[in-house]
Amino acid sequence: MGIYFDEDKKIFTIETNHSTYQFLVDEYGNLLHLYYGSNIQGSAEYLLQYRDRGFSGNPSSAGNERTYSMDVLPVELSIWGNGDYRSPAFVVETEDGARGAVFAYASHEIRQGKYRLAGLPAVYTDDAEGSGVQSLEILLNDPVLGLEMRLLYGVLPELDVITRAVTLTNTGKHKVYLEKALSASLDFITGDYDWITFHGRHMMERNVHRTHIDKIGQMIGSRRGASSHQYNPFLIVAEEGTGESTGSCYAMGLVYSGGFQAEAEQDQFGTTRVQMGIQEAGFHYPVAPGETFTTPEVVLAYSGEGTDGLTVKWHDLIRNHMIRDPYKGQPKPVVVNSWEGAYMDINREYILQLAEAGRELGIDMLVVDDGWFGKRNDDNSSLGDWVANESKLSCSLSRLIEDVNAEGLRFGLWLEPEMVSEDSDLYRAHPDWALKLPGRSPVRSRNQLVLDLANDQVKKYVLESICRVLDAGNIEFVKWDFNRSIYEAYSAGADHQGSVLHDYVLGLYEILEQLRSKYPKLLIEGCSGGGGRFDLGMLYYTPQIWTSDNTDPMDRLWIQYGTSFGYPPAAMAAHVTKSPNEHTGRRTPVETRGITAMYGAFGFELDLARMPENEKEAARKQVMDYKRFEQLIREGDYYRLNDPDRENFCGWGFVSKDKRQALVHVVITQIRGNEPVNYLKLKGLKQDAFYTDENTGITYDANLLMSAGLPLPLEHREYRAYRFHFVMEEAQ
């Protein structure tokens, strides 16, 4: 396993436990992609076929060789300027408006350990000797423009993961501009593929969508300055016919929280190209002499065992090599959040009542949500003025923290540091600190504007204001919100507006990294109206993310189902909320709300003191159950047990790494008259073993549970939920 270079054939081979990735340096110095898929023993250069193709031009380096065209060959990274008319990954523009660059191979280096990216989140490893983690760096040159491009590859063999990124260094005398800078491109010479993408909207994020990649160019992405509710920067490329348990498929995830795009198309001769990186709309990034631009990282993973196999590896990668969690290896606190219980109508008396009720139920932490600062009684003012409203709270923030701690609960706080209200002291003092077009009234959303994190002064203010809040007392949790999209990406302090959107993201990452360094035990939960910025970049800084503002448990089943393809349950924050639900009006049993919320990081968001006694008792048991199973939910292998769009129930399960226990949850989504029996097929159990259901004491053959399934109870009640805990029997 590892990275190998054949000096004679000029072929690079990257081997993981179950995959091979291969490309070569040809006689003209171009990098041609050969193969990515299950392990192979030899080289795949015979797959390259050369023909004289009409209207596909020939690069000058090939002389009069008409059978050589970059327009029809599979390439490692398509760069506009060498005759490839297909969608490029990189477009370089000179100061005089000429577009095009021609790069050729110069050298390469293979080294132990994983590369790092300056100012950007990326997959990390411990780089321990013998871990098998390696990096490949390939240097390409364009001597005419004086540009050096480095293609970076990182390899985690045990997880079948390959990471990619690109740097561009200007060693010339003149500034250039990047019009497009995608991080990775995959060219599949043969085969027919679908791509699975995840679309949605605010309060209904990450719905699964599968389409065939054909001659029509397809694109998903976000122009909103954030990864967005509408599309997610994660996708799966699957061979036709690939399902959950069989077939070959590839994950592709962008470690970035700004606007992004992903493209897919089958070209005129059957090659399939899939690309991913920064959104090109609004992007025109200057690279001056001596400067280097670095793309965000794209993570690739392969599975020959369908999306189930991909999910297990991908979740392990994120938990162990992306998320940096102060609670790593430790139980996460069960929280109660004040929002749906009181909204902005909060005061010391209510918070302490909530803390007392939480303590009685076994809850660990109380999070005070919006409404504690400035003159914040609705969402029209005070963002940016991070000073506690002591009149409203009836005490200082420090005193409130001490009082909650005295009740035996840890303390957390809601913040929205990237935003400013027009009705705020900050905006009145510094209107030029907001992103907006000069001389025009801004486009408003929730009557708030976005602060210019591309501006060093603004970054300094945001960091200092947050630190003042955190230094007020023992604050152990922050819910970091971002409640509007960026539209007018104009910075009064920027030299070039085409850099603002990307520099904003870099500014955000800089602030979060400094906070992590100063407060290493602080747990930050990401949020953007729920799941509007649920991406690998944010998970690097915020180990869990509020999955959706929609807390209806039935809608959450679909949201969490789609999210699970790209992100582990440990990263998904989910709460038990009131019934009827405020977003849908739907009534659901408290037991069902609890089981749905136990999908990931568990908590409550309702007025605990006013809960009926039977629901309090149910909540108390839910807290106990979650704490009992928290490690299995957090670290176990996760399996989707059915497609809720095809059946009238939704089932999912967690299997411990040693396969000694399995936790299965099921929610009935629809009841019809004279209902047939539903059978739930389990996954991930140990073949030929026997498992006992803790609830009934019945012992089952694991092979039978996985092939025939488990009959679900028939109850004539809406939205019933069930838990099964299976423990493997010791061999006799």
Among positive and negative, which fits the CA dihedral 713, 653, 479, 208? negative
Cα separations in angstroms, 429 against 277, 384, 385, 422, 424: 37, 11, 11, 10, 9
Q: Minimal CA–CA distance to 429: which of 457, 394, 402, 401?
A: 457
Record the pTM.
0.97
Whether residue 131 is predicted with pLDDT greater than 90 in this model: the reply is no
Instruction: Give the pLDDT confidence score for residue 717 in this predicted structure.
Output: 86
Whether residue 609 is predicted with pLDDT greater than 70 in this model: the reply is yes
pLDDT of 573-605, one tens digit each? 999 999 999 999 999 999 999 999 999 999 999
335-631 matches 649-728 in fold: no
Active site residue 503: no
**Interatomic CA distance for residues 277 and 280, integer angstroms:** 9
Tell me how many degrees the CA angle 103-106-111 measures, rounded to the nearest 5: 120
Instruction: State the burial class of residue 660 (Cβ atoms within 10 Å of its Cβ: 0-12, 13-18, 19+).
Output: middle
Is residue 267 classed as helix, strand or coil in its secondary structure?
coil
**Interatomic CA distance for residues 260 and 46, integer angstroms:** 35
pLDDT of 400-440, one tens digit each? 999 999 999 999 999 999 999 999 999 999 999 999 999 99
pLDDT of 284-322, one tens digit each? 999 999 999 999 999 999 999 999 999 999 999 999 999
Q: Minimal CA–CA distance to 448: which of 414, 494, 483, 489?
A: 483
Instruction: Give the pLDDT confidence score for residue 654 in this predicted structure.
Output: 98
pLDDT of 524-550, one tens digit each? 999 999 999 999 999 999 999 999 999
User: Which residue among the candidates 297, 552, 615, 635 is catalytic per the annotation?
Assistant: 615
- Each domain of the chain, given as residue ranges in start order, spans 2-321, 335-631, 649-728
* End-to-end Cα, the chain, rounded Å: 38
Fold for 649-728, please state it: Immunoglobulin-like (2.60.40)
**Interatomic CA distance for residues 619 and 611, integer angstroms:** 10
Instruction: Give the pLDDT confidence score for residue 505 in this predicted structure.
Output: 98
**Interatomic CA distance for residues 292 and 197, integer angstroms:** 32
Measured N-to-C along each axis, helices 590-597 and 553-563 cross at an angle, to the nearest 10 degrees, of: 20
CB 628 within 8 A of CB 697: no
**Interatomic CA distance for residues 324 and 406, integer angstroms:** 29
Q: In the chain, what is the greatest distance between 2 CA atoms, to the nearest angstrom?
A: 85
77 half-sphere exposure, CB direction, 13 A CA radius: 31
pLDDT category of residue 477 using cuts at 50, 70 and 90: very high
pLDDT of 197-249, one tens digit each? 999 999 999 999 999 999 999 999 999 999 999 999 999 999 999 999 999 99
Instruction: Give the pLDDT confidence score for residue 580 in this predicted structure.
Output: 96
pLDDT category of residue 129 using cuts at 50, 70 and 90: low
Q: CA 392, 357, 526, 263: dihedral to nearest 10 degrees?
A: -130
Is residue 277 classed as helix, strand or coil in its secondary structure?
strand
Is residue 514 classed as helix, strand or coil in its secondary structure?
helix
pLDDT category of residue 731 using cuts at 50, 70 and 90: low
Cα separations in angstroms, 245 against 172, 303, 639, 640, 653: 52, 10, 10, 10, 15
Active site residue 591: no
Among positive and negative, which fits the CA dihedral 593, 355, 335, 341? positive
**Interatomic CA distance for residues 2 and 18, integer angstroms:** 12
Place of tokens 């690939």: 242
Fold for 2-321, please state it: Beta-galactosidase; Chain A, domain 5 (2.70.98)
Q: Minimal CA–CA distance to 55: which of 268, 272, 274, 270?
A: 268
Question: Residue 449: what residue type?
Answer: L
Residue 260: partners with Cβ closer than 8 Å, 6 or more residues away: 221, 222, 227, 233, 254, 276, 277, 278, 279
Show the DSSP H helices in 348-455 as ranges: 348-361, 390-393, 397-406, 425-429
Measured N-to-C along each axis, helices 348-361 and 613-635 cross at an angle, to the nearest 10 degrees, of: 70
Place of tokens 């136990």: 598
Q: What is the mean pLDDT of the chain?
A: 97
Structure tokens at 481: 């919100």
Instruction: Give the pLDDT confidence score for residue 130 in this predicted structure.
Output: 61
Instruction: Give the pLDDT confidence score for residue 236 in this predicted structure.
Output: 98
Structure tokens at 676: 């047939």
Instruction: Give the pLDDT confidence score for residue 443 in this predicted structure.
Output: 93
- What residues does 231 pair with on adjacent strands? 199
458: left (phi over 0), alpha (psi -120 to 50) or beta: alpha
Instruction: Give the pLDDT confidence score for residue 126 in this predicted structure.
Output: 84
**What percentage of the chain reaches a pLDDT higher than 90?**
97
Residue 383: partners with Cβ closer than 8 Å, 6 or more residues away: 374, 376, 416, 419, 420, 421, 424, 448
Residue 44: partners with Cβ closer than 8 Å, 6 or more residues away: 22, 34, 35
CB 313 within 8 A of CB 160: yes
- Per residue, the 3-state secondary structure of 8-19, as one string, reads CCCEEEEECCCE
CATH code for the structural domain at 335-631: 3.20.20.70
User: Which residue among the candidates 418, 476, 535, 552 is catalytic per the annotation?
Assistant: 535
Whether residue 730 is predicted with pLDDT greater than 90 in this model: the reply is no
